[in-house]
Amino acid sequence: MNKPKQSTEELYQRLRTLIELSETVVTASHDIPDDQKKLYLADYKRNAQEAKTFAEQNNANFLRQLQKEVLTPWHETDDADARKFWSLVAERKLPLEQKDQLGAILKRGRVTNPAEYELIQDSLVVWQQEKRITADQAADLNQMIEQYEQKRTK
The predicted-structure confidence for 33-71, as pLDDT tens digits, reads as follows 999 999 999 999 999 999 999 999 999 999 999 998 899
pLDDT at 130: 77
Contacts of 11 (CB under 8 A, 6+ apart): 55, 60, 63, 64, 67
12, 87: one domain: yes
Q: Is residue 96 part of a domain?
A: no
111, 73: one domain: no
30, 68: one domain: yes
Last residue of a domain, one of 72, 91, 110: 91
Residue 146 belongs to domain spanning: 101-153
Planar angle of CA 76, 77, 80, nearest 5 degrees = 150
- In tens, the pLDDT along 99-139 reads 888 888 999 999 988 878 888 888 888 888 878 899 999 99
Tell whether the model's pLDDT for residue 1 goes beyond 50: no
Residue 26 banded pLDDT, cuts 50, 70, 90: very high
pLDDT at 93: 93
Last residue of a domain, one of 48, 67, 91: 91
pLDDT at 151: 87
At how many degrees (to 10) do helices 8-28 and 34-56 cross? 170
Residue 91 banded pLDDT, cuts 50, 70, 90: very high
